[in-house]
Amino acid sequence: MKALAAFVMRGPSQAALVAAVAALLSILVPPLGLLSAGSIGLVALRGGPVYGLIVSAVATLGMGAIAWLALGSPLPALGVLLMLWVPILALALLLRYSRSLALTLQTAGALGILLMLSAYALMGDPSETWLKILEPFRDALVKDGVLDDPASAAVFAELAGWMTGAFAAALVAQLLFGLFIARWWQALLYNPGGFGEEFRELRLGRAFGVLVLLLLALLPFSDGASLTANLLLVPGVLLLFQGLAVAHQVRALKQARQAWLVGLYVAVIFFMPQTLLLIACIGLVDIWADIRSRVAPGASPPGPGPSGPAV
């Protein structure tokens, strides 16, 4: 990865080449889209807005030309520019100038929520649109005998209700993973170990925590895949990252073996919904409880200070 990061930083043409090729290959291998985002993010973090815009423009032209020749249309390049490169460029520049990973994450979350609210404002009930998009998949399952028609209609109606929030959350997660790759590459080249330290110190603001608690308080008054339930998916992504930051920092403070983190990520893979929810809850608790400072060497036990009443 360090060699790839060094190649990206050799010049705008090399960076644009990596971004465009990775974006094209992501059609077949989706995770490669993160390398594309990471390339744009790295040049923005290191070179600033002008350099980032030049690389994005060259990558868009290159990908558009290749897509036109291979697919007969340059529209995939425009889609990648608007949905991936422009947002990652904005987030990378925000991180460059603010030096605040927490602010950058919360801005990404705000963009995801804004996207979701715009969908509801423009379409009323986005689930109807998602049902039309998912209809070919439902027909295929019915045709193959995996689901019968009534059962598939109920399953896909429920799925369509969650798709707007899931899409926004997935987009935010993709942008943040791309940003993390860019920051990691920057640290590999210019500040070894810097990204790990920065990530372990991630702490979201209490105003963000209050927003999450308000949405949770409204949840019992909504039905199923409501707007409130969908809105919670995006903050959930941010809380997940804070929970992971807590886990990494606690392991570092306790000098535990790396296998501890490996076990955590294995649990995420095999027990995904439950483990992700638990990690996100830890992230939410940490906003007020500051778990990391409590387990730091020499930290005072919770409770009243020296001047407080004895128990």
Task: Tell me the pLDDT tens digit for each residue of 114-126.
Answer: 999 999 898 878 8
Cβ–Cβ contacts within 10 Å for residue 296, how many?
A: 14
Asked if residue 267 is part of any domain, the answer here is yes
Q: Mean per-residue pLDDT for 71-96?
A: 91
Write phi, then psi, for 308 (nearest 5 degrees): -75, 170
Q: Is residue 219 part of a domain?
A: yes
pLDDT digits (tens, 9 = 90+) for 152-200: 788 888 888 889 999 999 999 999 999 999 999 999 999 998 999 999 9
Token code pair at residue 218: 């409204």
How much is the average pLDDT of 94-113? 95
What percentage of the chain reaches a pLDDT higher than 90?
Answer: 58
Q: Which residue has the higher pLDDT, 191 or 297?
A: 191
Question: Domain of 224?
Answer: 202-296
pLDDT surpassing 50 at residue 253: yes
Task: Give domain status of residue 191, yes or no.
Answer: no
How far is the C-alpha of 59 from the C-alpha of 51, rounded, in Å? 12
41 in Cβ contact with 88 (< 8 Å) = yes
- Given a cut of 90, whether residue 138 has pLDDT beyond it is no
Domain presence at residue 100: no
* Number of domains, the chain: 1
In the structure encoding, which two tokens stand for residue 230, read together?
A: 């969908």
Does the residue 94 lie in any domain?
no
**Across residues 279-296, what is the average pLDDT?**
90
Tell me the pTM. 0.89
The answer to whether residue 123 is domain-embedded is no
Which amino acid makes up residue 195?
Answer: F
